[in-house]
Amino acid sequence: MVKRISPVREVHPPKGSIFAAHDASTTDFTYTLQPRDVNYPIGSNDVPHSMTGVDKLREEGLLGSGIRVAVVDDGVDYKHPALGGCYGDPDKCLISFGYDLIKNTTDPYYDCFGHGTHVSGLIAARTNLYNFTGVAPKVTLGHYKVRGCNQSATTELLMSAFKLAVQDKADVITCSMGSYSGWSEEPWGVLIQNITDSGIPCMVAVGNDGYDRMFYASAGADGKGAIGVGSVDNLMTPMILVNARYSYKQDTKQFGWTVIANHDFANGTYNLHPLNSNSSVQIDACEGLSSNTPDLSKYIVLIRVGGCSFHTKVENAVKAGAKNILFYNNGPGTYDVDITYSNIGGMGMVPATTGEEWVKLAAKDIPINLHMVAKASASTFFAKEVNKASGGYVHVSSEWGPTNDLAISPHILAPGGFMLSTWPVALGGFAVLSGSSMAAPYLAGCIALLLESRGKPQIQTIQSLLAATAKPKQLNDGVSTFPFLSPVAQQGAGLVDVYDAIHSTVVLNVSSLSFNDTQFLAPAWFSITNNGTGPANYSIGQVSCGTVYTLASDGTTIPEGISYGHFMQPVNSSALLNFSSTSVSISQGQTVVVKVMASPFGGLNASRIPIYSGYVTLNSTNGDSFSIPYLGAATVMRNVTILDTKHGKNYLMSSDSTHPVQSGQQFTFVNPGVHNKASNVAYPIFDLVLSMGTRLIQGEVLSENRTLLGSLPNYPQNYISRTVGPGTNVSWKGELPGHTCATGNNCAPAGVYSLRMRALRIFGEPNSDLDYDVVETPQFRIQYSGT
Check: CB of residue 722 under 8 Å from CB of residue 217: no
Instruction: Please return the burial class of 767, using the count of CB atoms within 10 Å of its CB with bins 0-12, 13-18 and 19+.
Output: exposed
**C-alpha distance across the termini of the chain, in Å:** 42
Residues whose CB falls within 8 Å of the CB of residue 523, separated by 6 or more in sequence, listed in order: 595, 596, 597
Which of the following is catalytic: 22, 46, 49, 73? Answer: 73
DSSP structure class, residue 200: -
Which of the following is catalytic: 49, 115, 395, 675? Answer: 115
The distance from CA 260 to its chain's CA centroid, rounded to whole angstroms, is 23
Query: Crossing angle, helix 187-197 and helix 155-167, to 10 degrees?
Result: 10
Distance CA 120, CA 78 (A): 9
Handedness of CA 345, 351, 357, 359 (dihedral sign): positive
Please give the angle made by the CA atoms of 76, 80 and 84, to the nearest 5 degrees: 95
- Give catalytic status of residue 500 as yes or no: no
Distance CA 165, CA 173 (A): 7
- Give catalytic status of residue 437 as yes or no: yes
Q: Which of 521, 471, 478 is nearest to 496 (CA)?
A: 471
Q: Which of 768, 611, 614, 715 is nearest to 217 (CA)?
A: 611
Handedness of CA 404, 405, 406, 410 (dihedral sign): negative
Distance CA 496, CA 360 (A): 40
| Residue 541: φ, ψ to 5° | -150, -160
| Residue 176: φ, ψ to 5° | -115, 45
Distance CA 720, CA 692 (A): 9
Which of the following is catalytic: 437, 544, 613, 721? Answer: 437
**Residue 719 in 3-state DSSP?**
strand
- Give catalytic status of residue 566 as yes or no: no
Q: Identify residue 418 by its one-letter amino acid code.
A: F
Gyration radius from the chain CA atoms: 28
Active site amino acids:
73, 115, 437
